[in-house]
Structures are given as structure tokens and as C-alpha cells.
Amino acid sequence: MSADSQRIATLAQAVGQSASRLEERSWEHALDAQLTRLLKTGHQDTVDTALNGLFAVDLNAYDVLMDGVEAVSESATIAVETDGAPVQYDVLLVAAPILAWTRFAIASGPIPADVLNTLSAHFSAHLLADGTKLAMASNLFSIDQLPRTHAETYAKMHKLAQAAVKGVAVKSDVKPPETAPFLADTRYLIAVVVAPAGGPMFRWQMPAAHLHQADERRNALEAWRTQATPTVTRLLPGCGIELLLPEAYYMACREADKLIRPVSIRAAVHYLTHTLACEPADLRAVIAGFGEESADGQIDEYRVAFTRRSDSDVIYGVVWPLYGQEDEEGTPPEGPLAGGMSALLPPRTPVDEIVEHLNAAGVNVIKKLGESYVMEYCDDCGAPLFADPTGELVHAEMPEDAPAGTEHFH
């Protein structure tokens, strides 16, 4: 490790070993200052080296450093000159995820000025606390078009913050990267919220909402969905859509990653039944676990292969990745029931969840393979390989007589 990498790794360990909140905040402040300096100057590699080093020897400190670098890249406190004196403002980068599914193509790219103004107005009116300012990026982003590093996220956050403070429009990205077409995918509106330092950013944080913040949060989401859905529909023609709660950038992206998975199952069944002119009950699903070769049998994702019931040829496939604390055994229940009667129940596994969504879509013939496979991809096109009913890894290919269309895998 370089000296800078070693410094932030040591500070992360100090945060994790703190014996009081005061000590913890003191170390966090020192860590934030170092991370801000590194991200501002684009030294992502220094941060990555520290993260990789801690991942091998101290997972608790790794989590602390990951939380820290995410926080510093998506939020800040800035000083704005007002009447000759600096005034402090808090800044937060926010993502508003949109789940979309279609048999055609899911759009992305520049947002027309009138549509952007309408979405910004609804965002401020239904989600944000009084006295805040907002600047929304003028692109609808796919996951391939989002910032790829913490340093890029930091730069995007500060660029939007300046636009919010000055009350000016944000120039769209010159030419966003191309994105692969999927039957179901996530699109993102990206914005920065600026509020007086220490003040509320969202409606549910306002003093009057403290005693019933959960209800306020639900009401805000409902209002956002009701008011913004017609406008978003204009941006995504031919798509079914669902708007998720806009939240801090990384949290919103993680939630969207999880929630797009069941949508991918539904979209696949819808696509196959319409393209092949069959019923969901005419399909069979094969679920298999996949992991890295060196991961000692650990499952990183499930791949769901679809065949007709009458034969074993894999015609389509969906990837169901596992995130965070998820694993093949399932995650224990969270929230108010955790530790109560629910602690006696077996955890709900990802396979249970996949089966539920397949059943809900009308697919009842399901084969679960016990073997764990190495994650393999087609040498020619890079598509993931799926397990057929006999357990052999194969390329998913639609029948030759099927109409041409979108055939990418999520």
C-alpha cells in the first residue's frame, strides 16, 4: 500500500475500534477529510488499494471504509458566499430508480427541457423538505451510464450542487455510452438536493413529520408515483414502469438492483408466451446456482433457464444475482419481527423467492439443480450459459421459427 492507502485503512480500523460515539465521530471526521482529498484529485486507485487490502484482513474495517467512501462521494457540506459571508449547506446526491419492462427497447439518454422541468417540480413538491434546492441531471441513465467510480460520483455530485445553488440548468452528458437492450432493466433520474446545514432534506424529515415519518415516507412515494408516472411514461414509450422511492444514490441503486430481479422473471415469461404463442404452463424453468471458480462452492448468482415442457432445449434465460448479505441459505428476517416468532422459521432462500415469482407468472414446472456451477459465458458473444434439465451448460437460443426480437438476458 502507498502511504495514503495505509492512512485511510488505519483510520477505518480506528473507527471500527472506537469505544464511544464521540471517538467514532472524531475518527470518521479524519477519515472523511482524507477521502475528500483523494476523490477531489481523482485518486480512485489509492482508495481501491486500501479497500482490497482491508477486505483480505479486516472485514469490519472494510465495511467502515466502504461506507465512508460512499458517503463522501454522494454527500458533502459546502460553503456558499451570501451577503459577503459564507453560509453552510448540506448536499446529497439522490437517485430516483425506475423499473421498466418491455418486449421492445427501453430508452435512455437526454431528457427534453419541458419534461425535466415537470419532473423537477414534482420531485420538489412531493419529496423534498421546505427550503431545499434541487438540480436534476438532464439524462435518463441506464446502469452502464452511471458514474463508474467513487471519484466520478464525487465530481457528478459537486457539478450538480453548483447548478442547484446557482439555479441554472445542468448540461447533458456529451455522449453517454451505449447500453445493451434487456426485456427488463432499471433507469435512473439523478439529482442533487441542497439544504441549509443540519436542516431536513426530505418531507419525512421535517419536524412535523417526526412522529409518523414512516407514513410520510409512504405518502411521499405514492404522490411521486401518481404525479410523475405519466411524465416518465413519455420518456419510456412501450414500457411498463414502476417508480421506486428516490433515496441517497448508493442505497437507491442497491434497492433497484434487487427489485428488478422479479420483474425480469415476469418479463421473460411474458415475452416467451407472446413470442411462442403458448401459455405459461407450457414452459419449464430450471434453476441452478453459479459461483466463481475460486469461491469454494459459494453461490454468487442463480441462473433461470426456460425450456418448453415438451423438450429440453434452453430457449431463454434470466440471471438472478445475489447482493450484500444474501446467500443460498437465505437471509434472516429483519424489522419488527426479527428475533420474535419469526426467528423460529427457516430463512426464505433466494430459490424460494424465484419459485414464488415463477409460480405467480404461471410457470409451475420447475426443476432445481443441486449442483453448483462455475460462472461460464459464451466465448463468441459473452452471454451467460444456462443449465438445461439434464444439468449440461448450454447457450440459450430461441427456436428458429420464432419471430425476431429483443433476446438479451438480464
Positions of the chain with pLDDT under 70? 173-174, 294-296, 327-346, 402-410
Rounded to an integer, what distance in angstroms lies between the CA atom of residue 108 and that of residue 139?
7
Identity (one letter) of the amino acid at 92?
L
Rounded to an integer, what distance in angstroms lies between the CA atom of residue 363 and that of residue 284?
7
Residues in Cβ contact with 54 at an 8 Å cutoff, skipping those fewer than 6 apart: 9, 12, 13, 61, 62, 65
What is the structure's pLDDT at 158?
A: 95
Residue 183 parent element (H or E): none
Q: What is the DSSP letter of 112?
A: P
Would you give the distance in Å from CA 40 to the centre of its chain? 24
β-sheet bridge partners, residue 189 = 96
CA–CA distance from 35 to each of 11, 15, 80, 200, 406 (Å)?
11, 14, 22, 25, 43
What is the structure's pLDDT at 170?
A: 80
CA–CA distance from 200 to each of 12, 28, 132, 223, 393 (Å)?
28, 22, 8, 19, 52
What is the structure's pLDDT at 89?
A: 95
Q: Positive or negative, the Cα torsion across 214, 219, 222, 225?
A: negative
Q: Positive or negative, the Cα torsion across 197, 203, 205, 211?
A: positive
What is the structure's pLDDT at 12?
A: 97
Q: Which of 304, 306, 305, 309 is nearest to 282 (CA)?
A: 309
The end-to-end CA distance of the chain, in Å, is 37
Rounded to an integer, what distance in angstroms lies between the CA atom of residue 321 and that of residue 101?
18
What is the structure's pLDDT at 402?
A: 67
Q: Which of 315, 303, 241, 239 is nearest to 272 (CA)?
A: 315
Phi, psi of 117 (to 5 degrees): -65, -40
C-alpha cell at 106: 427501453
Radius of gyration of the chain (CA): 23
Rounded to an integer, what distance in angstroms lies between the CA atom of residue 271 and that of residue 232?
23
pTM: 0.89
Rounded to an integer, what distance in angstroms lies between the CA atom of residue 71 and that of residue 46?
17
What is the structure's pLDDT at 117?
A: 95
Whether the CB-CB separation of 273 and 279 falls below 8 Å is answered with yes
